Amino acid sequence: MSKMLIPILFALGTAIFWGCYGPTIGNAQAPRVDGQPLWSPFKPYVFIGIAYLVIAIIGGLLMMKVKGDTFSFAGDHFATAKWGFLAGTLGAAGALCLTTAMMTSRGNALLVMPIVFGGAVSVTAIVSVLRLHGGAGTSPLLWVGMALTVAGVVTVAMNTPHGHAATPKSPDQTKVEAADATADEAESAETPSTESAT
Would you state the pLDDT for residue 28? 83
Where exactly are the structural domains of the chain? 20-107, 108-160
Query: How high is the mean pLDDT in each 10-residue block of the chain (198 residues)?
Result: 80 85 82 83 86 90 92 90 91 86 77 82 83 71 86 79 52 54 56 48
pLDDT at 187 (0 to 100): 57
Q: How far, rounded to the nearest angstrom, does the alpha carbon of residue 76 sit from its chain's CA centroid?
A: 37
Residue type, 25: I
Q: 3-state DSSP call for residue 83?
A: helix
Instruction: Say whether pTM exceeds 0.85.
Output: no
| pLDDT on residue 66 | 93
- Structure confidence at residue 32 (pLDDT): 80
Alpha helices in 41-169 (DSSP H): 42-66, 78-104, 109-132, 140-159
